[in-house]
Chains A and B, each alone.
Chain A
Amino acid sequence: MGNSLSIEKIDAAYGAVRVLEDVSLKVNSGETVVLLGTNGNGKSTLMKCVMGIVRPRAGAIVVEIDGERYDLIGRSTEQIVDLGIALVPEGRRLFPRLTVEENLLLGAFRHKARTALKSNLISASNASRDWPSAAPSSPARSAAANSRCSRSRAH
């Protein structure tokens, strides 16, 4: 089942400042793709267009998720996340006053993931636990991977 992303002729702007001009790209199912460019060249804006955070002025964004095609233009960010697309934004965008477990719970709370909330949480914790060579003193590892610490604050 395919999980791909197609961006066609996207134009985007912040007010009068044009940020993206006629950008097209395809990410094939199962591929690992890196967007490279110095700051201010439109990489984050392009991904914000995918997530419905920035509305492009022109162009199309289509994903295939488990073989089903979805046009993302006009969808809300919540709907896009619900399709199975996740963004880890730049900067630290955790909820510092919530525990690690509570932060993970928020991630696991998209509509389709709710039915498997507990198993998703365990999977996310296991992903952290399986990290090779992470220092035991690393806050993320010690807090996220060690159940004794799963209620430690995320800062």
Chain B
Amino acid sequence: MRKLELARAMAAEPKLLIADESMAGLSQSEVDDIVTLLIRLNEHGITIVLIEHIMRAVMRFSQRLIVLVSGKKIADGRPEAVIRDPEVERAYLGQ
């Protein structure tokens, strides 16, 4: 069903695609499939913004990671750096 939702969005020929938790509830292999598709769409020139919690997908897909907490942006940068940001760890990762 998630694939159909993405396919429907793609049928509008978007230049900018926003997907809100499009991988929630999927198995690991299904998550991998969707990330592969999104990367392929991006390679065709589509700018993509994801709202996503699945870190496996986040780290594989994102060139940049932005973190919001209580309606404010607290981090914006390369994923590897952002997930090690102490404020992000405290607010999001609970460490």
Residues on A close to B: CB < 8 A? 3-5, 12, 18-25, 27-38, 41-44, 46-47, 50-51, 63, 65-66, 81, 84-90, 92-94, 100, 103-110, 112-113, 116, 120-121, 123-125, 127-128, 130-134, 138-141, 143-144, 154-155
| A41 & B7 in contact (Cβ 8 Å cutoff) | no
Verify if B84 is at the interface (C-beta below 8 Å from A): no
| A123 & B3 in contact (Cβ 8 Å cutoff) | no
- Nearest CB in chain B: distance from A129 CB, A: 10
Partner of B8 from the list A21, A107, A131 (CB cut-off 8 Å) is A107
| A124 & B64 in contact (Cβ 8 Å cutoff) | no
A contact residues around B58 at 8 Å (CB): 34, 36
Partner of B49 from the list A33, A84, A139 (CB cut-off 8 Å) is A33
Verify if B81 is at the interface (C-beta below 8 Å from A): no
Which of B4, B79, B92 has its CB near the most chain A CB atoms (within 10 A)?
Answer: B4
Verify if B73 is at the interface (C-beta below 8 Å from A): yes
What bracket does the count of chain B residues touching chain A fall in? 35 or more
Knowing A33-B66, A89-B20, the reply to whether A5 touches B36 (Cβ < 8 A) is: no
- Nearest CB in chain A: distance from B83 CB, A: 9
Given contacts A32-B61, A35-B49, 17 further A-B pairs with CB under 8 A are A3-B47, A34-B50, A34-B65, A35-B51, A37-B68, A37-B69, A86-B9, A86-B16, A90-B21, A94-B5, A104-B4, A107-B12, A110-B12, A123-B11, A127-B41, A139-B1, A140-B7
| B3 & A128 in contact (Cβ 8 Å cutoff) | yes
Knowing A65-B16, A87-B18, A107-B8, the reply to whether A35 touches B50 (Cβ < 8 A) is: yes
- Nearest CB in chain A: distance from B78 CB, A: 11
Bound-state Cα–Cα, A46 to B50, Å = 12
A contact residues around B42 at 8 Å (CB): 30, 32
Chain B 64-95 interface mask (CB, 8 Å, partner A; 1/0): 11111111110010010010000010011000
